[in-house]
């Protein structure tokens, strides 16, 4: 039995297609939208359509941008000799929030995951290799996620880049800030120990 009109049901269904949105959250969002002023709903809808029509991949690093080249790639203040390879634009944003990295990025838009049918040809590797043909690049920092897919991608990148004579490094992994050692899993503790640096 339908509790709501077909319009409300359709709206709930569309929200529930979004990642991380279950049926209860989809219902909450639908009713929130229905209670918003009509003008505000129009602004929301316009922003979604406008972003979809105008956002594309940067022709250099493959992050999402509304320009041909993103602001990071276009900046002369960035160190273009160091490229950090990340999986998604969200990962890029996370590193940018640290305000500690002044190099540039390359966004793979995924990771090698045979279980999901994602292979080497499905991520932005050709674009990375093209960038490495420049003598300007001295180091590639592999900052893929820690896990089976991220580690497999990191290994593939190392084997791909090393023969080009470019230094390849991998981000260290370990104990999160404020984490109690007794609650940290063994793999994380081992990586923290192996990735230690002299103080």
Domain ranges of the chain: 6-54, 76-171
Which residues, 6 or more positions from 21, have their beta carbon under 8 angstroms from its beta carbon? 15, 29
CATH 3.40.1360.10 describes domain 76-171: yes
Q: How far apart are CA 23 and CA 10, in angstroms?
A: 12
- The tokens describing 146, both together, are 């820690």
The model's pLDDT over 42-72, given as tens digits with 9 standing for 90+, comes to 999 999 999 999 999 999 999 999 999 999 9
Please name the fold of domain 6-54: Helicase, Ruva Protein; domain 3 (1.10.8)
Q: How far apart are CA 151 and CA 60, in angstroms?
A: 24
Backbone angles phi, psi at 42, to 5 degrees: -65, -40
Which residues does the chain have with pLDDT short of 50? 1, 199
The sign of the torsion formed by the CA atoms of 75, 79, 82, 85 equals negative
pTM of the model: 0.81
Q: How far apart are CA 136 and CA 118, in angstroms?
A: 30
């Amino acid at each position: 039995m339908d509790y709501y009109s077909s319009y409300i049901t359709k709206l709930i269904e569309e929200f529930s297609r979004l990642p991380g949105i279950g049926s209860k959250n989809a219902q909450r969002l639908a009713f929130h939208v229905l209670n918003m002023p009509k003008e505000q709903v129009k602004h929301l809808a316009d922003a979604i359509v406008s972003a979809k029509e105008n956002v594309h991949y940067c022709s250099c690093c493959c992050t999402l941008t509304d320009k041909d080249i993103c602001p990071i790639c276009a900046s002369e203040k960035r160190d273009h000799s160091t490229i950090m390879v990340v999986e998604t634009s969200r990962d890029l944003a996370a590193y940018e929030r640290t305000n500690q990295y002044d190099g540039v990025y390359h966004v793979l838009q995924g990771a090698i995951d045979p279980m999901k049918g994602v292979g080497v040809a499905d991520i932005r590797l050709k674009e990375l290799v093209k960038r490495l043909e420049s003598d300007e690049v001295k180091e590639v920092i592999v900052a893929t996620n820690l896990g089976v897919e991220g580690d497999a991608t990191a290994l593939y990148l190392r084997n791909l880049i090393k023969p080009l004579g470019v230094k390849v490094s991998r981000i260290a992994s370990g104990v999160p800030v404020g984490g109690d050692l007794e609650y940290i899993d063994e793999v994380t503790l081992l990586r923290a120990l192996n990735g230690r640096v002299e103080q």
